[in-house]
Amino acid sequence: MCEKTGLESAWVLDTFAPLFKQSFIMDLFEKLNKKAGPLGQYADDAYGYYMFPKLEGEIGPEMDFRGQRMLNWSLNNYLGLANHPEVRKVDAEATAQYGLGYPMGARMMSGNSIYHEQLDRELAAFESKEDAVLLNYGYQGMVSAIDALVDRHDVIVYDAESHACIVDGVRLHMGKRFVFEHNDMASLEKQLQRATRLTAETGGAILVITEGVFGMTGAQGNLKDIVALKSTYEFRLFVDDAHGFGTMGKTGAGTGEEQNCQDGIDVYFGTFAKSMALIGGFIAADKNVVKFLRYNLRSQIYAKSVPMPIVIGALKRLDLIRKHPEFRDNLWTVVRALQSGLKAEGFDLGRTNSPVCPVIMHGTVAESTSVVHDLRENYHIFCSVVVYPVIPKGMILLRLIPTAVHNLAQVERTIKAFTEIREKLKSGAYNSEKVINMAEKN
């Protein structure tokens, strides 16, 4: 009974709910049909070509796309390990022996093994940290680690250009979060001062989060300068080094090693999905922090552990990374040739100081599709394109990812093609109102 009206509430609901449903209540799926999302808005023109393309054949710098052989600059395979014969052999043998499911369950319950523990230890040693914990997916691992490390009394201070996994982790945080301008130390200090004042009231602590290498622009995070701020401010530093792990530093230990400040990184994240050409990731830190994470990382406690072939495959890849510095040398030979060649032709590569090679041009979204179409159909060069709203309006970012298995002839061919398409772009040859529709017909 409703106290105010004296009516039976069930009667009110039964009588009026259908009316409400008809007039006010939006169906969720109807709503979704109306809003495709910032990338989904291009789906009808782009599926299978600009987005969700299917590269076929053996993984490497030359692959097939829609029946044509392409020079491929779009693979997260920095060291060329994806198709290394020893890697393929170990992956196949481990899969034959264990299958893809083993071990079943979350690691805490029934999904642990001596190989998982060995990989934890080897990754920790490689990163010069006391311990490490495996993550079944890098993205979820980052989100979950941010969630686990801080509570509502703590303050997160993070870089404005952080990867989506950092942004999503920060979204879970119940306390305050302050963002500092990308790689800007004055802005970071300002936010640290705010955070310090706030934590003095809450009794909490400060976690600074940034990246080793920013994946879109290739700029290294200013890790050394951030670490130096520890002498003035009390905080811990968490670095997502997805693109730096395996590629940066003398031994490939990452951007902390590159900048000689690995000790100052308190929590180090690496993914297997780039230089290892695998899936999964890890966090390395002091043993007490890793112990805390083992028992509090919800993405690992409530999800299946990394399958055995991935663990054994990762051990093999780590071994190759340690024993074959020439993979990294080859990568950097290609990186230097590509970046210096493009710069010599006057291309704007932004702030990259890592293997990531962004080529920045100016034009509309429609023009960017013409550029990509021309590159693929006439030059047979495949690279990724990033446009508004991921980057500012009017900018076209063609993103090249060099690998250790590209060669200098491929670099030359690419520079020549880019020089030609830039001339066409400038002359208005790609001028069009419309995105070239290359979507798969189905």
Ligand X SMILES: Cc1ncc(COP(=O)(O)O)c(C=O)c1O
305, 111 Cβ separation under 8 angstroms: yes
246, 79 Cβ separation under 8 angstroms: yes
Q: Is 236 an interacting residue with respect to ligand X (CB under 6 A)? A: no
Sheet containing 357-362, strands listed edge to edge, beginning at the edge strand earlier in sequence: 357-362, 395-400, 384-386
Nearer to ligand X, 243 or 436 (CB): 243
Nearer to ligand X, 65 or 137 (CB): 137
Q: Is 309 an interacting residue with respect to ligand X (CB under 6 A)? A: no
Nearer to ligand X, 180 or 430 (CB): 180
Q: Which of 210, 259, 262, 271 binds ligand X (CB under 6 A)?
A: 271
Q: Which of 120, 147, 154, 240 binds ligand X (CB under 6 A)?
A: 240
Nearer to ligand X, 273 or 435 (CB): 273
Question: In the bound complex, what is the minimum distance in angstroms from residue 247's beta carbon to ligand X?
Answer: 12
Please give the full DSSP string across 198-221, using - where no structure is assigned: HHHHH---EEEEEESB-TTT-PBP
357, 218 Cβ separation under 8 angstroms: yes
Sheet containing 68-72, strands listed edge to edge, beginning at the edge strand earlier in sequence: 55-56, 62-65, 68-72, 381-382
Q: Is 281 an interacting residue with respect to ligand X (CB under 6 A)? A: yes
Nearer to ligand X, 199 or 316 (CB): 316
Rounded CA gap, 157 and 206, in Å? 7
Residue with tokens 């030059």: 379
Question: In the bound complex, what is the minimum distance in angstroms from residue 401's beta carbon to ligand X?
Answer: 11
Question: In the bound complex, what is the minimum distance in angstroms from residue 20's beta carbon to ligand X?
Answer: 42
Return the residues of window 60-99 that contact ligand X according to CB under 6 A: none
Which helix or strand (DSSP H or E) is residue 122 part of?
Answer: helix 114-126
Q: ∠386-388-390 over CA atoms, to 5°?
A: 65
Please tell me whether residue 297 adopts helix, strand or coil conformation. Answer: coil
Range list of β-strands (E), 51-165: 55-56, 62-65, 68-72, 131-135, 155-159
Q: Which x/- pattern, by CB under 6 A, does the window 24-63 give for ligand X?
A: ----------------------------------------
Question: In the bound complex, what is the minimum distance in angstroms from residue 215's beta carbon to ligand X?
Answer: 4
Beta bridge partners of 132: 284
Q: Which of 91, 147, 211, 374 binds ligand X (CB under 6 A)?
A: 211
Nearer to ligand X, 281 or 309 (CB): 281
Rounded CA gap, 422 and 442, in Å? 33
Question: In the bound complex, what is the minimum distance in angstroms from residue 268's beta carbon to ligand X?
Answer: 12
Q: Which of 63, 82, 156, 273 binds ligand X (CB under 6 A)?
A: 273
Q: Is 242 an interacting residue with respect to ligand X (CB under 6 A)? A: yes
Beta bridge partners of 55: 65
Nearer to ligand X, 82 or 435 (CB): 82
Nearer to ligand X, 127 or 374 (CB): 127
Q: Is 163 an interacting residue with respect to ligand X (CB under 6 A)? A: yes
Cα separations in angstroms, 433 against 120, 147, 253, 268: 53, 44, 47, 46
- Which residue's CB atom is positioned nearest to ligand X? 138
Q: Is 165 an interacting residue with respect to ligand X (CB under 6 A)? A: yes
> Omega into 389 within 30° of 0, i.e. cis?
yes
Which helix or strand (DSSP H or E) is residue 366 part of?
Answer: helix 365-377
Q: Is 123 an interacting residue with respect to ligand X (CB under 6 A)? A: no
Question: In the bound complex, what is the minimum distance in angstroms from residue 119's beta carbon to ligand X?
Answer: 15
Q: Which x/- pattern, by CB under 6 A, does the window 132-161 give for ligand X?
A: -----xxx--x-------------------
Question: In the bound complex, what is the minimum distance in angstroms from residue 297's beta carbon to ligand X?
Answer: 14
Please give the full DSSP string across 255-295, using - where no structure is assigned: HHHHTT-GGG-SEEEEESSSTT-SS-EEEEE-HHHHHHHHH
Q: ∠216-217-218 over CA atoms, to 5°?
A: 100
Q: Is 215 an interacting residue with respect to ligand X (CB under 6 A)? A: yes
Nearer to ligand X, 219 or 371 (CB): 219
Nearer to ligand X, 154 or 241 (CB): 241
Question: In the bound complex, what is the minimum distance in angstroms from residue 278's beta carbon to ligand X?
Answer: 9
Return the residues of window 333-352 that contact ligand X according to CB under 6 A: none
Nearer to ligand X, 166 or 415 (CB): 166
Residue ranges in contact with ligand X by CB under 6 A: 137-139, 142, 163, 165, 211, 215, 240, 242, 271, 273, 281
